[in-house]
Amino acid sequence: MSASRVRVAVTGLGVVAPNGLGAEAYWAATRKGSSGIGRISRFVPDQYPSQLAGEIEGFEAAEHLPGRLLPQTDRMTQLALVAADWAFEDAAVRPGELPEFEMGVITASSSGGFEFGQRELQALWSQGSRYVSAYQSFAWFYAVNSGQISIRNGMRGPSGVVVSDQAGGLDAVAQARRQIRKGTRLVMSGAVDASICPWGWVAQMASNRLSTNNDPERAYLPFDAAASGHVAGEGGALLVLEELEQARARGAKQIYGEIAGYGSTLDPRPGSGRPSGLRKAVELALADAGATPRDIDVVFADAAAIPELDRIEAAAITEVFGARAVPVTAPKTMTGRLYSGAAPLDLAAAFLAMRDGVIPPSIGVSPAPEHDLDLVVGQERTAAVRSALVIARGHGGFNSAVVVRAAA
């Protein structure tokens, strides 16, 4: 069998989301339309134009992680380490029992460890260089989640990090699939981002894409005539990926489905007059999966909630699938946009949608008729889901799409 025909399955999910810690808590909240968006509590947001976020509540790193890891890790890494533990547990894989060079870690990141970095920069400029933690050398760094997961679990196979904003969450999973096709037994992939601190907030505001509506029910309304930007959140998901036949051979407790297709494009430069590459990314993912548009039972949208970007995404979907021809949803309306963590969380939701035969809702949105989307709003929809498309775009023109499919 040629490497490109090797089927790659997801066998474990680890979720840390603003509306639920753990895959099942997240999924139960998401099916109910329960939001994790609220007023920022991690710092006093009064002086900032955007005062809402999707924050993870009730996460105490010390309850889950060894004391040695706490002083050297940013919150995003602590969340990622715990999500990885949960993904292994869900997959019933004990990494210590597998050869260390046959397991890799490939995550995405968009900002690195901002909260840690802010604290150390404050120490640098208020007290001096002798007051900066030695751990700042890596705690802020994009690759730190991959590195710490690798060290904690003894995974020394192909590893790395992809940085392409929200699209990175899918690009990392695609890279994980490549490595499995080249012979790596197992890859932990996905992403967790968290930078809800003043420094991280200012950096996010610079995109001009944060909503300044501070009513939690009106702030993040993708595909709505009132769309005015997004709410930022923290969290994401990590997934255990294995070669499908090997997963079956080891008697994996469950096979959520396979990563069947992937496509990515980069937009032309702004002002070029040429169209966005998003539609092409979707078409590439379908072709890679050997799927036709009719095979797709639901689309998890990128859902930028910037009017122009919503138009581009709606057009890409309707041009490929037809007007109102496929259910579209954006459960990220309950979490905010999680940057690199968003698409892995959507992948988890897609697999759980397949398992339970339901499409989770988007909340709060009144779809603008001009978009011609069949948006699942307010309540979950019962539907047999065998294939799903997840779309993710990154600031700077990154477009990525993944097709997931039930493993027949």
Partner 1 sequence: MPSHEFTLDDLRRILRDGAGADEAADLDGDIADTDFESLGYESLAMLETGGRIEREFDITLDDDALTDSRTPRELIEAVNALLVPAEIG
Neighbour count for residue 376 (Cβ, 10 Å): 23
- Does residue 125 interact with partner 1 by CB under 8 A? no
DSSP state of 301: -
- Does residue 134 interact with partner 1 by CB under 8 A? yes
Tokens of 145: 């989640």
Choice between 101 and 131, CB closer to partner 1: 131
- Does residue 61 interact with partner 1 by CB under 8 A? no
* Span of 64-72, 102-110, 188-196, 236-244 interacting with partner 1 by CB under 8 A: 64-72
Nearest-angstrom CA–CA distance, 281 and 398: 10
137-to-3, 100, 108, 113, 396 alpha-carbon distances in Å: 38, 25, 19, 11, 27
Please report how close the Cβ of residue 134 comes to partner 1 at its closest, in angstroms. 4
The size of the interface with partner 1 (CB under 8 A), counted in residues, is: 13
Please report how close the Cβ of residue 235 comes to partner 1 at its closest, in angstroms. 24
Nearest-angstrom CA–CA distance, 55 and 77: 15
What is the CA 217 to chain-centroid distance, rounded? Answer: 22
Choice between 68 and 269, CB closer to partner 1: 68
Nearest-angstrom CA–CA distance, 339 and 394: 8
Please report how close the Cβ of residue 69 comes to partner 1 at its closest, in angstroms. 7
Choice between 112 and 263, CB closer to partner 1: 112
Binding-site member from 5, 46, 63, 68 for partner 1 (CB under 8 A):
68
- Does residue 69 interact with partner 1 by CB under 8 A? yes
Burial class from Cβ neighbours inside 10 Å (0-12, 13-18, 19+) for residue 125 reads exposed
* Span of 69-77, 80-88, 297-305, 378-386 interacting with partner 1 by CB under 8 A: 69-77
Please report how close the Cβ of residue 120 comes to partner 1 at its closest, in angstroms. 12
Beta strand 8-17 with 235-243 is antiparallel
- Does residue 133 interact with partner 1 by CB under 8 A? yes
Binding-site member from 135, 205, 207, 218 for partner 1 (CB under 8 A):
135
3-state secondary structure of 324: coil
Nearest-angstrom CA–CA distance, 289 and 298: 15
Q: Which residues bind partner 1 (CB under 8 A)?
A: 66-72, 130-131, 133-135, 137
